[in-house]
């Protein structure tokens, strides 16, 4: 009995140990947000840094398989209340990373408002990750009417675009036809479907991160 | 001898948000660095590079160089200034530069390199746009609500395009009457200058055995609509159908109901058949709200449970679908209001969900002499021989209102009130009666098992009938939940996320909840009867409290009835949010 238990326990220990030790070896994804100095909070917004967001073997494999990664940033200004905090303002933007197989480069694009802004094309994934991690100032300043406030940043990382997600949802529900709607090559339907199914079976293609600043108190300052 | 270089670090953002009196000066200097970088890039004498830029050890580049996006790697010599915009700069030992300006990037290897002029660095991303071959610095964006509302507008609504296809799909549910209904037919969305036309026309094949090529197995459901106006407007349409309909669809969505039936052999709904048609006029305000008036003429029929397969408990019988429902022809006039602002971009603090309808039904319904509680059993042949008609007119209302409120970034308080039932006219037909209790309304109480609840204010003595149908004329339900998000990372994490690794790595939420509700019948006073203008006192409501973890795609909860001490604690698994 003891011998029969030993092997699975050993295997479990190896798996857990492997996961823990491997994790220590790489930079972990980190989202951080920094509020401006107290005298500047009514003139400028916080700075957001999303470091090491393209780490993780599964995400990298999905990227290399043609699934674009979409990083959706949300920054909110919350005022501190007695029982309930109030959401005062919010801004959002996206960063999209995709592998261009023909050029063999990773393209990083920031989508702000109506306008795409290229952060570059890179042959190395690490360089693409560095472009994603460039400190970005969110245009969300505090208000004179707020006594105490803090910023909250959230980031969701998806390895499928919204349109793909819609199609995936339909495909998984058994609606085969939408996959061949329009002028798409039906020959790729099976491949797309298998990739989609694989990504779903692997699970965890959506990650979420959150960070917040300390509570700050705005003081009058010059711009 | 290498000249000691002067380093001026205009670090900004995460690298330079240090409180103090110098912050303002640093911001000014950072803006100067950005302007300097743009000026250097646009200078006629500057060589411009977009993308990766390498200077090998043996190479010398004459003059100024500007690099966009990068990265820039320098092992050799640049006689002028290297300007890197939104690019990282890597210097190896022995690299020599006339000057270095980095905006929106990092510098590595500076200590082993020689920079004869100034080094300026600003870590924060530089925003610019091209004007021909030159770049123009964008002003720092000021807060503007339209900034993110534009983004919301940029997203096209899902149906903002014309298309047509031939659909072969499941109905996204599974039940003991139909098994897995398969839908087959065309779908058309045609956008026009004045609005759009949509058509969904499905044939329905029901897979529950035994398969017979009759109306038990085959049905149809076709809806067409002409919509005038895109965002605000009016729609006119019609629907013809021969479908199996759930009696109380408000308690549980079809996906969750189907999963419970298919996996656990637990079908929490009762069903009847609807065969007929209706016309409607719909006033719509975007995707968030619409008001629909419909008038239909349809035939109601009994539906009987069949024997579809299930994953577990295959040997157990299905809960009988109540066979005593009335059948006959009905004319229905319905007004329905739907408001859903939960997904609206401008709903900063949460959102509202409202689904309200008023139905007036007129017609003649027949019923067999189904044994009432306490009656001796009526012989089956007598039941089948002697259906009796009942002319009826009734009005029924129903409201499901919910408020989702964020109290803090990761904390939410969600409230729900459901109220509905008989408003006027004759006694409601079985198809329109209501109940509470069970995993979706009062999880501290078992579903349709009310023997510990005396009087039975959950089903209004519906449990005395075979199949335990809902039997209340009116119900009222309050639900509240407090949620707090957290991240669970056990063994797995974002770095090591292979499929074979055990553990969890995802967002989840603690949920604390409380519910209270009851049903009653309208009539003379009694344990479960109240007059038509009366509402039972809150002290008669059944209540529960509970807690759980919601992982998004599924949740595990524990609930305990607080108003019935003998009711044991229940463990509930949901594959949706509670509400």
> pLDDT tens digits for B437-488?
999 999 999 999 888 888 999 999 999 888 999 999 999 999 999 999 888 8
Looking at every residue in chain B, the average pLDDT score rounds to 86
| Cα distance between residue B419 and residue B474, in whole Å | 7
Q: What is the pLDDT of residue B188?
A: 92
Q: Which two tokens stand for residue A176?
A: 């085969």
Contact B555, B573 (CB under 8 A): yes
For chain A positions 87-106, those within 8 Å of chain B (CB to CB) are 87, 89-93
Asked if B168 lies within 8 A of A178 by C-beta distance, the reply is no
Residue carrying structure tokens 């009335």: B326
The reply to whether B168 and B238 lie within a common domain is: yes
Residue B17 has pLDDT above 70, yes or no: no
Q: Measured between CA atoms, how close is B290 to chain A, in angstroms?
A: 23
Asked if B494 lies within 8 A of A207 by C-beta distance, the reply is yes
pLDDT-based confidence at residue B41 (cuts at 50, 70, 90): very high
The reply to whether B20 and B35 lie within a common domain is: yes
Q: Which of B30, B66, B262, B408 to mutate to test the interface with A (most CBs of A within 10 A)?
A: B408
The reply to whether B46 and B181 lie within a common domain is: no
Q: Measured between CA atoms, how close is B84 to chain A, in angstroms?
A: 13
Establish if A159 touches chain B: CB-CB under 8 angstroms.
no
3-state secondary structure of B537: coil
Q: Could you give the count of Cα atoms lying within 13 Å of B358 in the half-sphere of its Cβ?
A: 6
Residue B223 has pLDDT above 90, yes or no: yes
User: Rounded to whole angstroms, what are the CA distances from B569 to B442, B453, B481, B517?
Assistant: 12, 15, 18, 18
The reply to whether B264 and B309 lie within a common domain is: yes
A-chain residue closest to B87, CA distance: A131
Average pLDDT over residues A33-39: 89
| Cα distance between residue A54 and residue A108, in whole Å | 12
A62-66, B86-90, B423-427, B546-550: least confident range: A62-66
The reply to whether B177 and B295 lie within a common domain is: yes
pLDDT-based confidence at residue B70 (cuts at 50, 70, 90): confident
Residue A174 has pLDDT above 70, yes or no: no
Q: What is the pLDDT of residue B375?
A: 54
Contact B426, B392 (CB under 8 A): yes
> Out of B13, B105, B168, whose CB is closest to A47?
B13
Residue B372 has pLDDT above 80, yes or no: no
The reply to whether B508 and B361 lie within a common domain is: yes
Q: Which two tokens stand for residue B190?
A: 């045609």
Burial zone of B489 (CB within 10 Å; 0-12 exposed, 13-18 middle, 19+ buried): middle
In a domain, B19, yes or no: yes
Domain coverage including residue B23: 6-141
Instruction: State the CATH number of the domain containing residue B394.
Output: 2.40.160
Average pLDDT over residues B96-125: 92
Q: Measured between CA atoms, how close is B442 to chain A, in angstroms?
A: 28
Establish if A76 touches chain B: CB-CB under 8 angstroms.
yes
Residue B330 has pLDDT above 90, yes or no: yes
Establish if A216 touches chain B: CB-CB under 8 angstroms.
no
Chain A residues touching B105 at Cβ < 8 A: 134
Question: Could you tell me which of B82, B86, B41 has the C-alpha nearest to residue B63?
Answer: B82
User: Dmax over Cα atoms in chain A, in whole Å?
Assistant: 75
Chain B residues touching A110 at Cβ < 8 A: 125
The reply to whether B124 and B189 lie within a common domain is: no
Q: What is the pLDDT of residue A27?
A: 78
Q: Which two tokens stand for residue A200?
A: 């779903």
| Cα distance between residue A16 and residue B490, in whole Å | 10
Burial zone of B358 (CB within 10 Å; 0-12 exposed, 13-18 middle, 19+ buried): middle
| Cα distance between residue A137 and residue B103, in whole Å | 13
In a domain, B272, yes or no: yes
Q: Mapped to the 3 state alphabet, what secondary structure does B185-202 carry?
A: EEEEEEECCCEEEEEEEE
Establish if A222 touches chain B: CB-CB under 8 angstroms.
yes
- The answer to whether the predicted template modeling score (pTM) of the entire model surpasses 0.95 is no
> pLDDT tens digits for A100-128?
888 899 999 988 766 788 899 999 999 99
- Helix A162-172 with A189-202: angle, nearest 10 deg: 90
pLDDT-based confidence at residue A64 (cuts at 50, 70, 90): confident
Asked if A34 lies within 8 A of B14 by C-beta distance, the reply is yes
Q: Measured between CA atoms, how close is B502 to chain A, in angstroms?
A: 8
In a domain, B300, yes or no: yes
B-chain residue closest to A179, CA distance: B165
In a domain, B438, yes or no: yes
> pLDDT tens digits for B256-302?
999 999 999 999 999 999 999 999 999 998 778 999 999 999 999 99
In a domain, B147, yes or no: no
Residue B236 has pLDDT above 80, yes or no: yes
Q: Which of A32, A134, A169 to mutate to test the interface with B (most CBs of B within 10 A)?
A: A134
> Out of A26, A86, A139, whose CB is closest to B142?
A139
Average pLDDT over residues B160-184: 86
| Cα distance between residue B384 and residue B243, in whole Å | 24
Q: Measured between CA atoms, how close is B330 to chain A, in angstroms?
A: 34
For chain A positions 13-32, those within 8 Å of chain B (CB to CB) are 15-16, 18-20, 22-23, 26-29, 32
Q: Which of B497, B503, B508, B550 to mutate to test the interface with A (most CBs of A within 10 A)?
A: B497
Average pLDDT over residues B26-42: 80
| Cα distance between residue A66 and residue A102, in whole Å | 11
> What phi, psi does B207 have (nearest 5°)?
-95, -5
> Out of B143, B145, B501, whose CB is closest to A19?
B501
Q: How many CB pairs under 8 A join A and B?
A: 205
In a domain, B159, yes or no: no
Q: Which two tokens stand for residue B217?
A: 């197995």
How many residues are recorded in chain A? 223
Structural domains in chain B (count): 3
Asked if B23 lies within 8 A of A177 by C-beta distance, the reply is no
> pLDDT tens digits for B484-517?
988 887 777 777 766 677 777 778 899 999 999 9
The reply to whether B564 and B518 lie within a common domain is: yes
Q: Which two tokens stand for residue B113?
A: 């390199």
Asked if A130 lies within 8 A of B494 by C-beta distance, the reply is no
Establish if A36 touches chain B: CB-CB under 8 angstroms.
yes
> pLDDT tens digits for A127-162?
999 999 999 999 888 888 888 999 999 998 887 644
Handedness of CA B322, B326, B328, B331 (dihedral sign): negative
Domain end position, chosen among B110, B141, B172: B141
Establish if B408 touches chain A: CB-CB under 8 angstroms.
yes
A38-52, A206-220, B235-249: least confident range: A206-220
In a domain, B500, yes or no: yes
Q: What is the pLDDT of residue A185?
A: 37
Q: What is the pLDDT of residue B513?
A: 98
The reply to whether B310 and B396 lie within a common domain is: no
Q: What is the pLDDT of residue B164?
A: 85
Average pLDDT over residues B37-61: 93
Angle at B520 between CA B518 and CA B523, to 5 degrees: 165
In a domain, B544, yes or no: yes
The reply to whether B425 and B505 lie within a common domain is: yes
Q: Which two tokens stand for residue B315?
A: 């040997």
> Out of B150, B349, B493, whose CB is closest to A87?
B349
Q: What is the pLDDT of residue B359?
A: 98
Chain B residues touching A32 at Cβ < 8 A: 14
Contact B570, B531 (CB under 8 A): no
The reply to whether B422 and B540 lie within a common domain is: yes
More confident site: B30 or B438: B438
| Cα distance between residue B94 and residue B73, in whole Å | 12
Question: Could you tell me which of A145, A148, A152 has the C-alpha nearest to residue A80?
Answer: A148
Return the percentage of chain B with pLDDT > 70, whole number.
86
User: Rounded to whole angstroms, what are the CA distances from B100 to A15, B3, B13, B78?
Assistant: 48, 15, 20, 10
Asked if B507 lies within 8 A of A208 by C-beta distance, the reply is yes
Chain A residues touching B147 at Cβ < 8 A: 91, 113, 139
Asked if B17 lies within 8 A of A35 by C-beta distance, the reply is yes
Q: What is the pLDDT of residue B235?
A: 95
Establish if B207 touches chain A: CB-CB under 8 angstroms.
no
The reply to whether B55 and B182 lie within a common domain is: no
Q: What is the pLDDT of residue B382?
A: 56
For chain B positions 101-140, those within 8 Å of chain A (CB to CB) are 104-106, 123-125, 127, 140
Q: Which two tokens stand for residue B53?
A: 């830029």
């Amino acid at each position: 009995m003891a011998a029969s238990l030993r092997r699975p326990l050993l295997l479990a220990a190896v798996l857990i140990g492997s996961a823990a030790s491997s994790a220590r070896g790489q930079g972990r994804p980190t989202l951080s947000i920094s509020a401006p100095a107290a005298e500047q909070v009514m003139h400028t917004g916080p700075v957001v840094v999303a470091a090491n967001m393209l780490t993780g073997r599964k995400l990298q494999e999905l990227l290399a398989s043609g699934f674009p990664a979409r990083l959706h940033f949300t920054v909110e200004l919350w005022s501190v209340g007695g029982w309930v905090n109030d959401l005062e303002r919010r801004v959002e933007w996206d960063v999209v990373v995709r592998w261009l197989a023909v050029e063999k480069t990773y393209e990083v694009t920031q989508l702000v408002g109506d306008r795409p802004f290229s952060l570059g094309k890179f042959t190395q994934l690490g360089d693409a990750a560095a472009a994603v991690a460039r400190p970005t100032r969110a245009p969300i300043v505090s208000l004179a009417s707020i006594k105490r406030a803090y910023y909250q940043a959230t980031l969701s990382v998806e390895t499928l675009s919204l349109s793909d997600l819609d199609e995936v949802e339909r495909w998984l529900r058994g609606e085969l036809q939408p996959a061949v709607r329009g002028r798409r090559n039906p020959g790729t339907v099976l491949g797309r479907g298998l990739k989609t199914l694989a990504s779903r079976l692997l699970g965890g293609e959506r990650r979420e991160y959150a960070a917040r600043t300390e509570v700050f108190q705005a003081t009058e300052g010059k711009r | 001898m290498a000249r000691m270089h002067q380093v001026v670090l205009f670090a900004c953002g995460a690298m330079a948000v240090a409180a103090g009196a110098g912050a303002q000066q640093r911001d000014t200097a950072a803006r100067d660095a950005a302007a300097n970088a743009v000026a250097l890039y646009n200078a006629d004498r500057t060589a411009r590079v977009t993308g990766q830029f390498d200077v090998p050890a043996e190479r010398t580049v004459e003059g100024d160089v500007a690099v966009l996006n990068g990265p820039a790697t320098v092992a050799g010599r640049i006689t002028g200034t290297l300007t890197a915009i939104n690019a990282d700069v890597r210097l190896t030992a022995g690299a020599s530069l006339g000057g270095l300006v980095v905006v929106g990037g990092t510098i590595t290897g500076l200590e082993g390199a020689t920079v004869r002029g100034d080094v300026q660095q600003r870590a924060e991303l530089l925003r610019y746009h091209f004007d021909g071959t030159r770049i123009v610095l964008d002003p720092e964006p000021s807060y503007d609500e339209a900034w993110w509302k534009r983004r919301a507008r940029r997203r096209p609504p899902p149906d903002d395009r014309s298309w047509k296809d031939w659909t072969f799909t499941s109905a996204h549910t599974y039940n003991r009457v139909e098994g897995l209904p398969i839908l087959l037919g065309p779908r058309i969305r045609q956008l026009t200058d004045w609005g759009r036309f949509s058509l969904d026309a499905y044939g329905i094949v029901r897979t529950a055995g035994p398969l017979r090529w009759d109306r038990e197995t085959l049905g149809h459901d076709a809806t067409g609509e002409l919509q005038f106006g895109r965002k605000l407007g009016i729609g006119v349409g019609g629907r013809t159908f021969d479908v199996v309909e759930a009696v109380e669809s408000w308690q549980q969505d079809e996906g969750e109901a189907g999963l419970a039936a298919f996996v656990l052999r637990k079908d929490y709904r009762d069903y009847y058949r609807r065969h007929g048609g209706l016309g409607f006029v719909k006033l719509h305000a975007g995707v968030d709200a619409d008001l629909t008036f419909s008038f239909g003429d349809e035939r109601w029929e009994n539906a009987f449970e069949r024997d579809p397969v299930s994953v577990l408990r295959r040997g157990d019988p299905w809960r009988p679908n109540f066979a005593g429902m009335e059948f006959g022809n009905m004319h229905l006039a319905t007004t329905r209001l739907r408001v859903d602002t939960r997904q609206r971009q401008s709903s900063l603090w949460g959102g509202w969900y409202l689904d309200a309808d008023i139905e007036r039904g007129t017609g003649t319904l027949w019923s067999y002499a189904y044994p009432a509680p306490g009656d001796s059993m009526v012989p089956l042949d007598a039941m089948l021989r002697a259906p009796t008609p009942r002319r009826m007119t009734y009005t029924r209302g129903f409201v499901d209102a919910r408020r989702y409120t964020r109290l803090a970034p990761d904390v939410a308080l969600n409230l729900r009130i459901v109220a509905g039932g008989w408003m006027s006219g004759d006694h409601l037909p079985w198809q329109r009666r209501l109940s509470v209790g069970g995993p979706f309304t009062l999880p501290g109480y078992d579903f349709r098992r009310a023997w510990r609840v005396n009087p039975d204010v959950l089903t209004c003595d519906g449990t005395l009938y075979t199949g335990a149908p809902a039997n209340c004329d009116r119900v009222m339900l309050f639900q509240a939940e407090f949620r707090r998000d957290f991240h669970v990372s056990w063994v797995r994490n974002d770095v090591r996320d292979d499929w074979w690794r055990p553990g969890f790595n995802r967002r989840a939420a603690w949920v604390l909840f409380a519910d209270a509700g009851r049903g009653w019948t309208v009539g003379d006073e009694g344990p479960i009867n109240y007059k038509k203008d009366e509402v039972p006192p809150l002290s008669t409501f059944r209540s529960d409290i509970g807690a759980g973890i919601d992982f998004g795609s599924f949740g595990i909860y524990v609930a305990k009835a607080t108003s019935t001490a003998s009711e044991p604690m229940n463990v509930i698994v949901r594959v949706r949010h509670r509400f």
